[in-house]
Structures are given as C-alpha cells and as structure tokens.
Amino acid sequence: MDLAYNEEYVEFRAEVQAFLKANKSSAPKGRMGWGQADDKSRTWQQLLIKHGYAARTIPKEYGGFGAEPDILKNHIIAEEFAIAGVRPGHSGDPRLVPVVLELGTEEQKHALVGPTIRGDMVWCQGYSEPGSGSDLASLSTKAVLEGDEWVINGQKIWTSGAQHADMIFCLVRTEPDAPKHQGISYLIFKMDTPGIEVRPLVTMTGEAIFNETFFTDVRVPKDQIIGRRGEGWFVANATLKHERGSLGDPNQLEGRFRSLVEMLKSEKIDGKPLIEFPIYRDRLLKLQARVLSMKCNGMRILTANTKNEEPGLARWIVKLLGCELNHQMAALAIDVMGELGVLYEDSPYLRNYGMWQRNYMLDLGLIIGGGTAQIQKNMIGERALGLPKEPKYDAI
Ligand SMILES: Cc1cc2nc3c(=O)[nH]c(=O)nc-3n(C[C@H](O)[C@H](O)[C@H](O)COP(=O)(O)OP(=O)(O)OC[C@H]3O[C@@H](n4cnc5c(N)ncnc54)[C@H](O)[C@@H]3O)c2cc1C
C-alpha cells in the first residue's frame, strides 16, 4: 500500500494545520454532558462548518459545507484535530443525520438536518425497552394510527440524554400481527409533546446520563415517520451501522493514547515521571501496539472505501475492539494516578477535568451500548467469518 499523499493532500493538510493554529484557542475545552450543547460549542461547530471541517459533505441546501466526498481529506481532518488535541466538529447526531439524508423526505431533510448539525436540535434514541435490549425486535411500545395521528403508549429505557433532548427517534410497533421484524415503524417527534415523561436514572457515577421514558397517549402527526410504515427495522439498522462506526474510531483512539503518554510523562512519583516505571511502561507499550493495529485496520477500511469495496471483517471489529481499548487506556490512567484517580467533580487536584475517571465509567457502558460485546462477537462470527448461527433456544 502506498501511504504517501499527493500534493493536493499535502496542501490540504497544511491548510488544516494553519486553521488549527489560528483558531485552537476558541475551541471548547473540558467536557460536555451527554446530549448537551452550550453556546461555545455551537459557535465552534458553526465555525468548523463554515471552513468545511464539520458537516463537510452535507449538501449546502441542508446547511452543510457541501464538499464532494473525499475520504482522505476526512481522514486528514480527523488526524490533525486529534494531534492538536482539539475537540473535532461533527455532522450532527451521527446516528440520525445519515439516516435522514438517506431515507428521509425532502421536507424532513430541510427541517431536520441544518438545526441538528448546528447543535440547535438535540436528539435522543428511543430503542431499548425493559426486556428488549439485545433482542431489540421484540419491542412492544405501540403506536396506533387514529385519523392523522399516531397515538403512542409504552416505555423506553436507557434513553441517553432524553432529559436534554429536543427530539427523539423512536421505534414503535405499528403492525402487531406482523412477524416481529416487520411490525416496527421509525417515528420522530418532539420531546415536549404532551404525554411524555422522562425519569432520569442516576448511575453509580452520581450522574444521570440515562432515563426511563414513558409514553401515555402521545399524539404525533402521521407524517413524522422515516421510511415506510412497518419498515422501521430496516431504518433502525441503518442508524445502528452509523452508531457503531462512530464508536471506536481509530483517530480518537490515537488521540487518547497521546493524552495518556503526556499524563505519564507529567505525573511523577518522588520526582520520577511515571513513564519511567517499567511496570507502567510495559502496559503502555502493549496498549500502543493495539492502538497502532487499530490504526492499520482503519487504513484497511479507508483503502476499501476509496475503492468502493466492502471492508468486511475490518469494519465489524471496530466497535468491539475500539471500545474495549478505550476502556483499557482509561484503566491504566486510573491505576497510575493512584489516589488522584478516584477524585471527582470539583477537586482542585483533578487532572484533565476528570476525563479519565469519567471515560473509565462511560467506556464500560459503551462496551454495552449500541450492541453488547457478546452480540458484536456473534455478528463477527456469523456475518464476517461465516460461522454457523448460534442455536436459538426457542428453536431447540
Ligand atoms: C452507555 C449506554 C448508552 C445507551 N444509550 C441508549 C440510548 O440512547 N437509547 C437506547 O434505546 N438504548 C441505549 N442503551 C441501551 C443498550 O442499547 C442496551 O443496554 C443493549 O442493547 C443491551 O441490552 P440490555 O441492557 O437489555 O441487555 P440484555 O440484552 O438483557 O443482555 C444481558 C446480557 O446477555 C448477553 N446476551 C444477550 N443476548 C445474547 C446472545 N444472543 N448471545 C450472547 N449473549 C447475549 C448480553 O451481551 C449481556 O451481557 C445504552 C446502553 C449503554 C450502556
């Protein structure tokens, strides 16, 4: 594989570097709670869209930058932002925007994409229910068409950011007599619609990222559906593909590895930097090998994409291995920080705004969210390696 970039890309990289040098100081720092956006983040995102470093390929008429797709330029942007340690831009909610662009009506694209990529419209995902997580297609929240409105009743759970969200994309059962995968529709509606109750679930971090979301006779206009009635399973899978691709991104892994190395260099025991202790160095090197192998895997995917080929196994392993690796890096950080690693919130001794502590807990969750590690392994076995399907207990 020829890894050298031609002149156009070398110039493009220089442009991105110049932009970052000039604007790095305006980038938001620290953390932003799940599904929240403040004015600084929104202003930063809008600057990035204007320069083509966010929402790059989203057509101008829907509020994006409108560039031709160029995977290598996307890669250069992600890489340079990671090197500079600057919070990258986004193309709106990564689970929803690609789906609206792919399967939404023209009216939906105009109404939803622009505000979402600017951070003015925040979404949450209403998929999981008590009893329907890995076996998502068994969901039972129902919607019945009455005149020009869907009437929704039921409950979702683990709805991340629902307490801050303006909108929800929600899977509901609309054809109760159809086989389970064919009876689902994908509705979108406002979170302040009467009949919606959001109850935050406080986790052991003391934060409430998740919620239980209850629907009692929630009335939603008939046309607030993506795709056709009963075809929500197909739309949901399109969403999940984008969600899994965005979790475990190799550029983000590299960025995190760099921060880990910096931390091991700056923190000291008896004046000696932690990186000089063989016991930590050994763990660090093992992690570095895995980060580099994920980077090579990312290049494989990139190569396949540039040739319009399906990356196969390379794509299937990203979510599983990327999320596990992120968690292992946070675990090393916590271990080496000793007593500093258990500090939370506003302690003056907090390092990196408490990023490692938070990531440690959040990444544990991301190994589960978007499809658990066990389910990812099933999919790798069955869909990527062609192994026989695991027996279903109801078929035995
Ligand atoms: C951080 C985080 C964010 C989330 N955000 C959202 C959100 O915004 N919206 C939303 O709708 N949901 C969200 N979820 C929920 C998430 O999608 C579910 O937790 C996940 O799909 C697993 O479902 P479950 O919790 O019901 O576990 P279950 O499906 O009950 O699984 C329990 C255990 O059994 C294993 N298991 C189940 N079936 C199999 C099988 N066939 N083979 C092998 N092992 C199996 C699982 O791997 C798991 O270990 C989030 C979860 C987390 C952790």
Same domain, 298 and 381: yes
Specify burial of residue 129 (Cβ count, 10 A radius: 0-12, 13-18, 19+): buried
- Within a domain: 202: yes
d(CA 327, CA 325) in angstroms, rounded, equals 5
pLDDT band at 1 (very low <50, low <70, confident <90, very high): low
- Within a domain: 113: yes
Least confident of 7-21, 222-236, 330-344: 330-344
For ligand 1, whether the C-beta of 138 sits within 6 Å is no
Share of the chain above pLDDT 70, in %: 94
For the chain, first and last CA: distance in Å?
48
Residue 53 reports pLDDT greater than 90: yes
pLDDT on residue 355: 85
For ligand 1, whether the C-beta of 123 sits within 6 Å is no
Arithmetic mean of pLDDT over the chain: 89
Per annotation, catalytic residue among 243, 254, 324, 382 = 243
Specify burial of residue 120 (Cβ count, 10 A radius: 0-12, 13-18, 19+): middle
Ligand 1, residue 136: give the atom nearest the CA. Answer: 21
pLDDT band at 2 (very low <50, low <70, confident <90, very high): low
Q: Which helix (H) or strand (E) covers residue 251, if one does?
A: helix 250-266
Q: CA torsion angle for 237, 294, 372, 163 (degrees, to 10)?
A: -70
Helices and strands (DSSP H and E) totals, the chain: 12, 10
pLDDT tens-digit series, residues 163-209: 999 999 999 999 999 999 999 999 999 999 999 999 999 987 778 88
CB 128 within 8 A of CB 171: no
Q: What CATH number corresponds to the domain at position 349?
A: 1.20.140.10
> Could you tell me which residue, 35 or 305, shows the higher pLDDT?
305
CB 12 within 8 A of CB 52: no
Same domain, 300 and 204: no
- Within a domain: 374: yes
pLDDT on residue 301: 86
Mutate to test the pocket of ligand 1, among 155, 368, 380, 393 (most ligand atoms within 8 A of CB): 368
Same domain, 324 and 368: yes
Same domain, 286 and 371: yes
Mean pLDDT, to the nearest integer, of 155-168?
Answer: 96
pLDDT tens-digit series, residues 60-92: 999 999 998 787 888 889 888 878 888 888 877
Same domain, 145 and 192: yes
Q: Looking at the DSSP assignment, which residues form a beta bridge with residue 187?
A: 170, 225
User: By residue range, what is the domain housing residue 141?
Assistant: 123-230
Among protein residues, the one with the nearest Cα to ligand 1's atom 23 is 133
Mutate to test the pocket of ligand 1, among 125, 135, 139, 158 (most ligand atoms within 8 A of CB): 158
pLDDT on residue 244: 65
Ligand 1, residue 366: give the atom nearest the CA. Answer: 1
pLDDT tens-digit series, residues 350-371: 887 788 888 898 889 889 988 8
Ligand 1, residue 372: give the atom nearest the CA. Answer: 47
> Could you tell me which residue, 131 or 3, shows the higher pLDDT?
131
Count of Cβ atoms closer than 10 Å to residue 380 Cβ: 17
Q: Which helix (H) or strand (E) covers residue 227, if one does?
A: none
Least confident of 40-54, 228-242, 342-356, 378-392: 342-356
377 Cα to the center of ligand 1, angstroms:
14
Query: What is the CB-side half-sphere exposure of residue 388 using CA atoms within 13 A?
Result: 3
pLDDT on residue 351: 82
167-173/149-157 β-pairing: unpaired
pLDDT on residue 103: 94
Ligand 1, residue 370: give the atom nearest the CA. Answer: 17
Q: What CATH number corresponds to the domain at position 226?
A: 2.40.110.10
For residue 91, give the nearest of 53, 61, 60 by alpha carbon.
53
Same domain, 337 and 214: no
Distance of CA 133 to the CA centre of its chain: 18
Same domain, 131 and 204: yes
For ligand 1, whether the C-beta of 372 sits within 6 Å is yes
* Catalytic-residue membership of 207: no
3-state secondary structure of 106: helix
Same domain, 152 and 205: yes
d(CA 11, CA 327) in angstroms, rounded, equals 35
- Within a domain: 205: yes
CB 337 within 8 A of CB 267: yes
d(CA 308, CA 10) in angstroms, rounded, equals 23
Among protein residues, the one with the nearest Cα to ligand 1's atom 16 is 369
Q: Which helix (H) or strand (E) covers residue 179, if one does?
A: none
Tokens of 245: 């691709």
- Within a domain: 34: yes
- Highest-pLDDT range among 16-20, 118-122, 303-307: 16-20
Number of domains observed in the structure of the chain? 3
Residue 240 reports pLDDT greater than 80: no
For ligand 1, whether the C-beta of 375 sits within 6 Å is yes
Among protein residues, the one with the nearest Cα to ligand 1's atom 27 is 133
123-126/167-173 β-pairing: parallel
Share of the chain above pLDDT 90, in %: 62
Q: What CATH number corresponds to the domain at position 82?
A: 1.10.540
For ligand 1, whether the C-beta of 183 sits within 6 Å is no
- Highest-pLDDT range among 93-107, 213-227, 242-256: 213-227
pLDDT on residue 278: 96
Q: Which of 160, 195, 230 is the last residue of a domain?
A: 230
Ligand 1, residue 362: give the atom nearest the CA. Answer: 1
Q: Which of 118, 151, 172 is the last residue of a domain?
A: 118
- Which residue, chain included where needed, has tokens 């683990």? 158
Same domain, 167 and 154: yes
d(CA 123, CA 112) in angstroms, rounded, equals 10
Same domain, 110 and 177: no
- Within a domain: 242: no
Among protein residues, the one with the nearest Cα to ligand 1's atom 4 is 369
Tokens of 54: 């966010």
d(CA 12, CA 180) in angstroms, rounded, equals 49
pLDDT on residue 87: 82
pLDDT on residue 199: 97
pLDDT on residue 34: 47
Mutate to test the pocket of ligand 1, among 134, 201, 213 (most ligand atoms within 8 A of CB): 134
d(CA 304, CA 310) in angstroms, rounded, equals 6
Residue 161 reports pLDDT greater than 70: yes
Q: What is the DSSP string of 209-258?
A: -EEEEEEEEEEEETT-EES-TTBHHHHHHHHHHHHHHHTT-HHHHHHHHH
138 Cα to the center of ligand 1, angstroms:
13
Residue 29 reports pLDDT greater than 90: no
3-state secondary structure of 204: coil
Q: Which of 56, 86, 118 is the last residue of a domain?
A: 118
* Contacts of 214 by beta carbon, 8 Å cutoff, 6+ apart: 154, 155, 196, 197, 198, 199
For ligand 1, whether the C-beta of 158 sits within 6 Å is yes
- Within a domain: 12: no
Ligand 1, residue 374: give the atom nearest the CA. Answer: 47
Same domain, 341 and 382: yes
- Within a domain: 3: no
Same domain, 85 and 138: no
CB 76 within 8 A of CB 68: no
Mean pLDDT, to the nearest integer, of 138-146?
Answer: 97
pLDDT on residue 38: 80
370 Cα to the center of ligand 1, angstroms:
7
